[in-house]
Structures are given as C-alpha cells and as structure tokens.
Structure 1
Amino acid sequence: MTEDFGLLDPDEADAFGDEWESIDVDDTEADQIVRRQDLAFDEFRKRIKDTEQFKVEGDVFDDATLAAIYKLVQDGYVEAFGGPISTGKEANVYEALGDDREVAIKVYRITTSNFRQMRDYLEGDPRFEGIGNDKKEVVLAWTRKEFANLKRARRAGVRVPEPIAVERNVLVMELVGLVEERARRLAEVHVENPQTAYEVVREYMRRLYSAGLVHGDLSEYNLIIHDGELVVIDMGQAVTVHHPNAGEFLERDCRNVATFFTRQGLDVTGEELLAFVTEPEPEPSEDPEAGPSEESGSGEST
C-alpha cells in the first residue's frame, strides 16, 4: 500500500468544550406516515417487501423503517435501493442511488440492537439528557448521534463519510468506495508506510478531541483506505468530552491504535499518543519585530 494519506483542512471549528445543541428524538414524519397508511406508502411498502433480497429481513424492514425510507425517497435523498454492503446485529448497510451519486444507507435495527451498550454511550452525553428507557427512543437517538458526530468530525477536518440525511433509524451517507471495489479496513492491508499512516491517525484523533469528541471504539477495524485517504468510520458510539467515561474511552482508543502500529514496526505507546492527542494548541508566538513587552522589562541590568 503506497497511499500518501493526505490530511484534510479543517473548517472553522467550534472551540473545545462548546455546549452541544440537544438532539430531538420525538416522532418524525416517518412515524406520521406509517400511522396515516396512505395509498402511496402502501404501494411503496408492497414493492419493497416483494423484492427477493428483502424477504428474509423482516426484522430490519418493519413498517416504520419502510416509512423512513419512503420519506427519504420523497425528499430526493434516495432514488433507488440496492443490495446489502454489510450486515450486523445493530445495523445493516445497503448501497443506494442518491440524487447524483451512489450512497450508503445504514439501517439500525430496533428489535435486535444492543440496547444496554447503547445506553452506556448515551448516558452522560449532554446532547441526550433525559433520554428515556424506551428501546425505540434509544435506537433513534443513536442514529441521530452518529449523524451529528459525522458532521462535527468533518468540520474539524477529519475524513469521515459525509452525512447526507437522517430519518428515524435510517442514516444516508457517502458511499466510500464502490461495492465492487470495496474500501479496505486498515487491518486488511499491508501498510507500506506505517509512520505516515500513524501520523495521520493521531492527527485525526487530536482534531476530534479538539472538537470535543472521542471516537470510543477506534482501532484498525474502524479505519479504511480509499483513494489514498484514511477514513474514520463507525462514529455512532463517539461521545463528547463531557461524557463521564470519555477519558477511559480515549485511553482505550490510544492503546488500540498504538498496539496496531507497534505491530507495524513503530516504537509508539498509548501513553505517548494520549499526550499528543490531549496536548493543548500552542499559543501564538509573539511578533519577532515587536519590541519587548512590559512584563519582560527593558532587558537592562541594574
């Protein structure tokens, strides 16, 4: 692997520790659609459920999820639904055609998602204060959380899939790599230039932290390679620095990343990486053409 791993330029990011806008987990228009059960939605549901590839996935495509996809189609975010890219206990990812490009659709499962683990990451996040114990609300909050985390990360100059739209438990985002040319996880490739790759990963970790985020599950399995770029994925569990377990999660991320790159031959430690990630931004240097400040005196000896 000979990619150069170019870094993105960050946008004007919010300051460290800024308060977060609360995220609404009330019913969406998709819930209203499924309650209304109009003729157009009924025809859409029948067409999708008659598709061979979805017949065995009734636990994923319940009526409310189909209503969410229907709403995304109405809004122009999805034009055609494709086949599965990956399947998991918490979510399935499908390819789809957006308005002018291929996109990925991530569908979180309401019935089989790990409710308790999700709550561990949501509790303590100021964006989700007062979240109830209702499993549906937790999964919907998780979906909106991933969408918000992706937006925050991109503003900070971290290469993540571009978030496009969210509706209920369905997230539309950039498809990184075509299905037939799948982007590879860092764990799946031979890293020919581990020093450069490590420097990019640690810079992305520092940018996330400076933007008030900790990934929470970062490893070689949540970093992919595409077109010479390292891309951070799976941002659903990322927490704010205000989270009571943020420090523990960050230390674990640093250990995981350092362990991987140690296996690639680098002399790095989790402790060194943690110090780099959390190091404050340097103060601007004084203008070399300016005279001495009042605090420094005239420089003459007495």
Structure 2
Amino acid sequence: MTEDFELVAPEAVDSPGDEWEEIDVTDTEADRIARRRDREFNEFRKRIKDSERFKLEESVFDEATYAAIYKLVQDGYIDAFGGPISTGKEANVYTAKSGDRTVAVKVYRINASDFKDMRGYLDGDPRFEGIGQNKRKVVMAWVRKEFANLQRAKQAGVRVPDPIAVERNVLVMEYIATDGDRAKRLNEVHVENPETAYDVVAEYMRRLYDAGLVHGDLSEYNIVFQEGQLVVIDLGQAVTKHHPNAEEFLQRDCENVAAFFARQGMDVTGDQLYESVTDETDR
C-alpha cells in the first residue's frame, strides 16, 4: 500500500452539527406508497423481487422497503442496481448507478436486525429520546443516525463516504472503490508506512471527538484505503460525547486501533491514543 496518506480539510462551517438535533422517525413517503400499492409500484416491486442481481426475501424485507427503493428511484438517486458489495446480519450493501457514477445502497433489515445491539447505542443519545421499543422506529432511527453522523464527520474533515440520501431503512452514499472494486480494509493490505497511517487515523479520531462524536466500533475492519486516503466507514453506531457510554466506546476504539498498529511494529498503546484524542491543549 502506498505511503501517501492524504488528510482532507474540514469544511468551512460554523460548527460540525447540532448536538441536540432530533431525528424524525415518523412514517415516510415510502410507508405511504407501500400502503397505497398502486399499479406502477407493484410492477416495480415485481421487477426488483425477480432480479437475479438484487434478491430480497419476503422474510427479511417488508413492503415499505420496496417502496423506499421505489421512492429513491423516483427522486433520481438510483437509476439501476448492480450486485451486492457485502451482506451482514443487520444490512446488505449493493452497488447502484446514479447518473454517471456508482453509489452504494445500504438496506437495513427491519425484521432481522439485532434490536438489542442497536438499542445499546441509541439509548442515552439525546437525539433519539422517546423512540420506545418499536422495532421499525429503532431501525429507521439507526439509518437516520448513520446519515447524520456521516454528515457531521464530513463537515469535521474526516474522510467518510459522502451521504447522499436516506429513505426509511435505505441509505444511499458514496461507493468507496478502487479500480472498480470495493476498497480494501486495513486488515486486508500491507501497510508500508504504519507511522503515517497511524497519525492520520489518530487525527480523524480527534476530529470526530471535536465534532462531538465517538465512532464506537473503530478498528482495522472499518477503515479502508482508497487512492492515497484512509476512509472511515460504518458510522451507524457512532454516538455523541453526551452518551453515557461514550467514554467506554472511545477507550475501546483506542485499544483496537493501537493494537492493530502495534502489530505493525509501532510502540503505541490505547491509553496513549486516548490521551492524544481527548487532549484539548493543542486545539
């Protein structure tokens, strides 16, 4: 892997985001389309279900998921689907065409998502008070949380996938790719200059922290390399610094990152990284 790790600059904004911004989890247009079930939507739904390149099982995706995809197509965010990028217990990610570029479409499962794991990151986040135990609302909140976290991270100068659109449980974002294939994770490449890579990751963690966010699941598995840049991905679980578990999550992130770079031959510890991220004397 190349030794050049280019840092991106923060955007010119007054602040990285409103710490107390509420997230709307009421019915979306997709829910209304699913209830209406007109002929055009039914035809679209059948084409998607029958496509060999984009299989959605009835037991996993509800009617409003089809309607969410339909709405994103209507709004011009998606023109045609490609194949799957990844599949997981909470979401599948697919490529799609949007005009002349390729985007990533992340489809969260409503029925199969790990409800308890999600609640652990949502409970205590002031943006999500009052959601209750409704699973649909929890998943919708999670998707909007990921969209909002990506926006805030980007404003803070952290290289993340550019968030494009969100509809119900479907998120459209920049496809992070190299030579047409998904970008490799840090654990999948040989890091020729671990010192420089570490400095970039540490700086991005500081920028997230200054923007009021803690990633909450940062490791070599959700940092990817693309064209001279390290890109932080999977911000769905990121919490604000006001979350009751934010310090614990940050310490865990620091331990994970430091452990990876220690295996690359560096003399670093999680405690050292934690002090560097939270130290405000040089800010």
TM-score range, shorter chain: over 0.9
What is residue 205 of structure 2 aligned with on the other side?
Answer: 205
**Secondary structure of the structure 1 residue equivalent to 2:116:** helix
What is residue 43 of structure 2 aligned with on the other side?
Answer: 43
Deviation at 1:59, TM superposition (A): 3.4
Using the aligned pairs only, state the percent identity.
70
Gaps of at least 5 residues in structure 2 are: none
**Secondary structure of the structure 1 residue equivalent to 2:275:** helix
Inter-CA distance 104–194: structure 2 relative to 1 (3 Å threshold): same
**What whole-Å deviation, never above 9, does each CA across 1:264-287 have from its counterpart, x for those lacking one?**
01111111111110111537xxxx
Once residues 245 and 81 of structure 1 are traced to their aligned partners in structure 2, the CA distance between those partners, rounded to angstroms, is 38
Deviation at 1:57, TM superposition (A): 2.9
* Equivalent pair of 1:15/1:210 in contact (CA under 8 Å): no
What is residue 231 of structure 2 aligned with on the other side?
Answer: 231
What is residue 253 of structure 2 aligned with on the other side?
Answer: 253
**What whole-Å deviation, never above 9, does each CA across 1:136-194 have from its counterpart, x for those lacking one?**
11011000000000000000000000000000000000001068522100001111100
**Secondary structure of the structure 1 residue equivalent to 2:220:** coil
State which drifts further: 76-85 or 196-205. Answer: 76-85
Deviation at 1:51, TM superposition (A): 1.2
Deviation at 1:60, TM superposition (A): 4.0
Once residues 143 and 56 of structure 2 are traced to their aligned partners in structure 1, the CA distance between those partners, rounded to angstroms, is 23
* Equivalent pair of 1:160/1:231 in contact (CA under 8 Å): yes
What is residue 166 of structure 2 aligned with on the other side?
Answer: 166
Inter-CA distance 3–76: structure 2 relative to 1 (3 Å threshold): farther
What is residue 25 of structure 2 aligned with on the other side?
Answer: 25
**Secondary structure of the structure 2 residue equivalent to 1:164:** strand
What is residue 214 of structure 1 aligned with on the other side?
Answer: 214
Inter-CA distance 281–155: structure 2 relative to 1 (3 Å threshold): farther
Once residues 113 and 107 of structure 1 are traced to their aligned partners in structure 2, the CA distance between those partners, rounded to angstroms, is 11
Inter-CA distance 5–149: structure 2 relative to 1 (3 Å threshold): same
Q: Structure 1-normalised TM-score?
A: 0.90
Once residues 64 and 146 of structure 2 are traced to their aligned partners in structure 1, the CA distance between those partners, rounded to angstroms, is 20
* Equivalent pair of 2:142/2:236 in contact (CA under 8 Å): yes
* Equivalent pair of 1:95/1:175 in contact (CA under 8 Å): yes
What is residue 241 of structure 2 aligned with on the other side?
Answer: 241
Once residues 270 and 12 of structure 2 are traced to their aligned partners in structure 1, the CA distance between those partners, rounded to angstroms, is 29
Once residues 275 and 46 of structure 1 are traced to their aligned partners in structure 2, the CA distance between those partners, rounded to angstroms, is 54
Residue correspondence of structure 1 range 121-132 to structure 2 within 5 A: 121-132=121-132
Once residues 18 and 171 of structure 2 are traced to their aligned partners in structure 1, the CA distance between those partners, rounded to angstroms, is 25
Once residues 133 and 93 of structure 1 are traced to their aligned partners in structure 2, the CA distance between those partners, rounded to angstroms, is 26
Once residues 260 and 200 of structure 1 are traced to their aligned partners in structure 2, the CA distance between those partners, rounded to angstroms, is 14
Once residues 272 and 16 of structure 1 are traced to their aligned partners in structure 2, the CA distance between those partners, rounded to angstroms, is 26
Inter-CA distance 224–95: structure 2 relative to 1 (3 Å threshold): same
Once residues 66 and 279 of structure 2 are traced to their aligned partners in structure 1, the CA distance between those partners, rounded to angstroms, is 46
Inter-CA distance 25–225: structure 2 relative to 1 (3 Å threshold): same
**What whole-Å deviation, never above 9, does each CA across 1:210-241 have from its counterpart, x for those lacking one?**
00000000000010011111000000000000
Inter-CA distance 190–130: structure 2 relative to 1 (3 Å threshold): same
Q: How many equivalent pairs are there?
A: 283
Once residues 16 and 178 of structure 1 are traced to their aligned partners in structure 2, the CA distance between those partners, rounded to angstroms, is 29
Once residues 203 and 20 of structure 1 are traced to their aligned partners in structure 2, the CA distance between those partners, rounded to angstroms, is 25
Q: Does residue 1:75 correspond to 2:100, yes or no?
A: no
Inter-CA distance 129–280: structure 2 relative to 1 (3 Å threshold): same
What is residue 276 of structure 1 aligned with on the other side?
Answer: 276
Q: Which has the larger radius of gyration?
A: 1
**What whole-Å deviation, never above 9, does each CA across 1:34-78 have from its counterpart, x for those lacking one?**
001111101101111121244463334432101000000000000
* Equivalent pair of 1:60/1:108 in contact (CA under 8 Å): no
Once residues 179 and 237 of structure 1 are traced to their aligned partners in structure 2, the CA distance between those partners, rounded to angstroms, is 29
Once residues 108 and 180 of structure 1 are traced to their aligned partners in structure 2, the CA distance between those partners, rounded to angstroms, is 24
What is residue 100 of structure 2 aligned with on the other side?
Answer: 100
* Equivalent pair of 1:222/1:234 in contact (CA under 8 Å): yes
What is residue 193 of structure 2 aligned with on the other side?
Answer: 193
Inter-CA distance 247–134: structure 2 relative to 1 (3 Å threshold): same
* Aligned CA-pair RMSD: 1.6
**Secondary structure of the structure 2 residue equivalent to 1:224:** strand
One-letter code of the match for 1:121?
A: Y
**Secondary structure of the structure 2 residue equivalent to 1:106:** strand
Gaps of at least 5 residues in structure 1 are: 284-302
Deviation at 1:132, TM superposition (A): 1.4
Inter-CA distance 164–55: structure 2 relative to 1 (3 Å threshold): closer
Once residues 199 and 208 of structure 1 are traced to their aligned partners in structure 2, the CA distance between those partners, rounded to angstroms, is 14
